[in-house]
Amino acid sequence: MSADIATAVPHASQDAASAAKTPAGTGTTITSGLLPRINGPGDLRRLPPGRLPELAGEIRRFLVDKVSATGGHLGPNLGAVELSIALHRVFASPRDAIVFDTGHQAYVHKILTGRQGGFDRLRQAGGLSGYPSRAESVHDLVENSHASTALSYADGLARAFQLRGHTDRHVVAVIGDGALTGGLALEAVNNLGAAPGRPAIIVLNDNGRSYAPTVGGLASHLATLRRPGVPSPRPGVPNVFESLGFSYLGPVDGHDIGALEGALRQARALRRPVVVHAVTVKGKGYGPAENDRADHMHGIGVLDPATGRPHDVPGAAPPSWTSLFADEMTVIGAEHPGVVAITAAMPGPTGLAEFATRFPDRFFDVGIAEQHAVACAAGLALNGMHPIVAMYATFCNRAFDQALMDVALHRLPVTFVLDRAGITGPDGPSHHGMWDLVLLGMIPGLRIAAPRDATRLRELLHEAVGHDGGPTVVRYPKANAGPDIAAPRRLGGPDGVDVLSQHGDQALLVAVGPLAGPCLAAAAQLRHHGVGVTVVDPRWVAPVSPVLVELAAAHHLVVTAEDGLRTGGVGTAIATACADAGLTTPVRTLGLPREFIGHGERAHLLAAAGLDHRSITASVLEAVRPGVPGRTAPSPAGEPRPVGGWS
Ligand SMILES: Cc1ncc(C[n+]2csc(CCOP(=O)(O)OP(=O)(O)O)c2C)c(N)n1
Ligand SMILES: CC(=O)[C@@H](O)[C@H](O)COP(=O)(O)O
Ligand SMILES: [Mg+2]
């Protein structure tokens, strides 16, 4: 195993020998060709240039073979093959710092830094992360997969190199054209360009797309620059990068290793802020990806590499929450002419593509710019529209201040639809949407709904769109919606609390969203233990419904279950409301730990957090009869008491 890692970037605790450690896996080793000889960047640098196209071909075959078997970001990595090879031939990672923006395009970087064996368990629990991971390698720096941060890291890394006198070490940030539309990236550009004495190298991986073609004035400008031999929009007129203090090298063919190496060596020698504009093709070299009109196979599930299509699975899959939202948005669009829809460069993944087709004048893609999306929504709402901002829950984190101070402070009717809320699974810690219930739950005047099934999703979307007294949120996970769960009763009026089952007063089980299913299953198990519980679904989980406090008063215990942080979310709010009402009913909150949860299967991660029905049963039993799990005993109150007027 070659270990040419001279001086690890300070954070690494590993030695070089473990630098290329790959998680234990059943990785099949590559036994022929050049790839088996590449165990680190040093091996790559010893390859004769004439063999590099051959290596690139092997890497492409490796990517298609492995990622089609596990799922992952195939298109972005096929587009970054030559770029990654050139980067590791010109710069000496980890002595030089190479940062990947978003990190979804870092598979080739991992292949070249000794982790080929981990790809059989890519994005699986205990397996290789789909993003850079400092636990995997000293070559990995940034694990956060939220876009548009790499240039800020580069600025910080460069300042630290300067302060520590490491003027012979380089900082290279690889950023996509999509990520460059993020406000944070532009804040960093403003700083990097103003520091001629603090060189950082921006490698712009420009394939013209995020998922869909990248939008905005910057995208148009880049399209002009991409034309061969056109380094500026008009002869003699500096391009945006030169105007902001950078040297500009490009456009460079992002699939010509020699040209890339030449430009990177030139950039390295300049010793000043410089942008290397590499023009690439997302999905390069694999027909099904290059020809994928939707998103060039940006992210794929398991598929047949020969056809690029998913394997035939008998029977129709139940609808995903995303597809249910997509369908209802076309209904809402037709019924509510004041409704407009906003996406941050993810029309397809958030389910807005059909709405965009049907109502093109009322659909806005603002680029990977969630903060702008929300503040723009505030502007739209100020002027009489009802915006629906659809994004992944985790990406809403960065727009918190806009939700708080631009939307809620003005009590504006903006609806946030948060997909991937709760545990997502294979994308790991920076993608689990586990923060929204706490973050948004603290916003005055903002209402949060969590549908338990398709019918409630449709109901709650319409209720949200019909609410014009302030912001609303509808949140659901990365999953297929289960079968409808009927409610025998609804307490507290049309937007009240659904009573799903009622078999006693020993515990009130409050289910948030799709956890209604596991909670009902737990209630059935608890009845076998002689424990009678009531299961309710608040539907609107924030602010706390007074009906929940009344129900709590009629039970010996309250247990809440949410696919979000266990503390500070819905359960905590219910406990506070009960205490404020002078109740002494104990409240036990079930939810996710205040930790960064790794990648894995959603169901497994939920179970590990105690949110599957078995764990919920055990939690209730433990709370009802501490220390004696599972024993059947009469209810402490004898027969279930008839409770306040609704038994
Ligand atoms: C803040 C944030 N918003 C949205 C996403 C989802 N996302 C992941 S990759 C991607 C597109 C990135 O486009 P680009 O930077 O051009 O990279 P490419 O995939 O084209 O190589 C998006 C929108 C994200 N990771 N972070
Ligand atoms: C890198 C990124 O942020 C997205 O591509 C994300 O991985 C998509 O997640 P889903 O696969 O859940 O749509
Ligand atoms: Mg792109």
Q: Is 284 in the pocket of ligand 1 (CB under 6 A)?
A: no
Q: What is the mean pLDDT of residues 396-403?
A: 98
Nearest CA among 17, 29, 125, 143 for reference residue 70: 125
The answer on whether 178 is annotated among ligand-binding residues is yes
Task: Tell me 27's DSSP state.
Answer: P
pLDDT band at 313 (very low <50, low <70, confident <90, very high): confident
What residue owns the CA closest to ligand 1's atom 19? 76
Q: Please indicate, yes or no, if residue 240 is contained in any of the structural domains.
A: yes
* Predicted pLDDT at 30: 59
- CA-73 nearest atom, ligand 2: 5
Task: Tell me 300's DSSP state.
Answer: B
Alpha helices in 434-500 (DSSP H): 436-439, 454-466
Q: Please indicate, yes or no, if residue 2 is contained in any of the structural domains.
A: no
Q: What is the pLDDT of residues 521-535, one digit of tens each?
A: 999 999 999 999 999
Same domain, 467 and 513: no
Q: Please indicate, yes or no, if residue 27 is contained in any of the structural domains.
A: no
Q: Are strands 558-565 and 507-511 parallel, antiparallel or unpaired?
A: parallel
Q: Please indicate, yes or no, if residue 23 is contained in any of the structural domains.
A: no
Q: Is 205 in the pocket of ligand 1 (CB under 6 A)?
A: yes
Q: What is the pLDDT of residues 60-88, one digit of tens each?
A: 999 999 999 999 999 999 999 999 999 99
- The CATH number of whichever domain residue 551 belongs to comes to 3.40.50.920
Q: Please indicate, yes or no, if residue 276 is contained in any of the structural domains.
A: yes
Same domain, 501 and 468: no
pLDDT band at 19 (very low <50, low <70, confident <90, very high): very low
Q: Tell me: pLDDT of 101 over 70.
A: yes
What residue owns the CA closest to ligand 2's atom 11? 299
Q: Is 506 in the pocket of ligand 1 (CB under 6 A)?
A: no
Domain range for 504 is: 489-624
Top-confidence residue, 494 or 305? 305
Enumerate residues 6+ apart whose C-beta is below 8 A from 179. Answer: 101, 102, 147, 148, 150, 185, 368
Q: Is 388 in the pocket of ligand 1 (CB under 6 A)?
A: no
Same domain, 288 and 226: yes
Domain endpoint, select from 304, 330, 349: 304
Same domain, 542 and 442: no
Q: Known catalytic residue: 370?
A: yes
Q: Tell me: pLDDT of 228 over 90.
A: no
The answer on whether 177 is annotated among ligand-binding residues is yes
Give me the sheet containing 339-343, strands edge to edge: 363-365, 339-343, 386-392, 415-419, 472-475, 447-449, 540-542
Give me the sheet containing 558-565, strands edge to edge: 489-491, 497-502, 533-537, 507-511, 558-565, 587-592
Same domain, 147 and 191: yes
Q: Tell me: pLDDT of 638 over 70.
A: no
Q: How many domains does the chain have?
A: 3
Same domain, 457 and 503: no
State what percent of residues in the chain have pLDDT above 70.
Answer: 92
Q: Please indicate, yes or no, if residue 414 is contained in any of the structural domains.
A: yes
Residue 244, SS3 per DSSP: coil
Q: Please indicate, yes or no, if residue 6 is contained in any of the structural domains.
A: no
Q: Known catalytic residue: 601?
A: no
Write the single-letter amino acid at 363: F
Q: Tell me: pLDDT of 1 over 50.
A: no
Q: Tell me: pLDDT of 375 over 90.
A: yes
The answer on whether 207 is annotated among ligand-binding residues is yes
Q: What is the mean pLDDT of residues 442-460?
A: 98
Q: Tell me: pLDDT of 2 over 60.
A: no
Q: Please indicate, yes or no, if residue 594 is contained in any of the structural domains.
A: yes
Same domain, 432 and 518: no
Site of tokens 């948005």: 329
* Predicted pLDDT at 232: 83
Domain endpoint, select from 304, 336, 368: 304
Same domain, 345 and 267: no
Q: Are strands 558-565 and 587-592 parallel, antiparallel or unpaired?
A: parallel
Q: Are strands 339-343 and 386-392 parallel, antiparallel or unpaired?
A: parallel
Same domain, 329 and 260: no
Same domain, 172 and 82: yes
ipTM of this predicted complex?
A: 0.99
pLDDT band at 8 (very low <50, low <70, confident <90, very high): very low
* Predicted pLDDT at 25: 38
Same domain, 120 and 263: yes
Q: Which token pair is 400? A: 């918190």
Write the single-letter amino acid at 469: G
Rounded CA separation 485/459 (Å): 13
pLDDT band at 298 (very low <50, low <70, confident <90, very high): very high
Domain endpoint, select from 433, 450, 475: 475
Q: Tell me: pLDDT of 12 over 60.
A: no
Q: Tell me: pLDDT of 278 over 90.
A: yes
Q: What is the pLDDT of residues 565-583, one digit of tens each?
A: 999 999 999 999 999 999 9
* Predicted pLDDT at 332: 98
Q: Which token pair is 30? A: 């590559």
Nearest CA among 62, 31, 110 for reference residue 305: 62
Q: What is the mean pLDDT of residues 527-545?
A: 97
Rounded CA separation 552/509 (Å): 10
- CA-207 nearest atom, ligand 1: 20
pLDDT band at 647 (very low <50, low <70, confident <90, very high): very low
Q: What is the mean pLDDT of residues 582-610?
A: 98
Same domain, 250 and 371: no
* Predicted pLDDT at 29: 54
- The CATH number of whichever domain residue 77 belongs to comes to 3.40.50.970
Q: Which of 368, 371, 432 to mutate for ligand 1's pocket (most ligand atoms within 8 Å of CB)? A: 368
pTM (two decimals):
0.93
